[in-house]
Amino acid sequence: QEKDNGSGQKLLEITGPALSKRKLLVGLDLLCLVLASIPFLVCELKAVSPYSRGFFCGDASIMYPYLHTEAIPDQLLITGGIIITGLTVSITHSSSSSSSSSSSSSHDC
């Protein structure tokens, strides 16, 4: 439904199933945000103390030879990060576009 806000601009008013779906998605986003911040809060509030143990410099189980090169080169990390990010954005955008285009004929992107 379109509604006039008094300044001559038309506002789109969301009602019915679209509104309840939007509320559900916002609630799900907030739930994910809360769940993702739990480990951070636990660490910051010192609710759990870290485990610490001593070590000996001559312990053969923790001695590794010095490597002059990196195990994973920077170029591989950068390329992998760009590809994974691009795929994630593409997949989520295409899935959200297909679900929004099935519910309405117009879309802003």
Q: Where are the beta strands (DSSP E) in the chain?
A: 2-4, 10-12
The SS3 of residue 3 is strand
The pLDDT, as a whole number, for residue 67 is 76
- Looking at mean pLDDT, say which of 1-10, 19-28, 56-65, 77-86 comes out highest: 77-86
> What angle is formed at CA 95 by the lines to CA 92 and CA 99, rounded to 5 degrees?
135
What tokens were used for 20? 């309840």
pTM of the model: 0.38
Task: Using the structure block, give the residue that is written with the tokens 């285009």.
Answer: 101
Q: How confident is the model at residue 9 (pLDDT cuts 50, 70, 90)?
A: low
What does residue 41 show for φ and ψ, rounded to 5 degrees? -65, -40
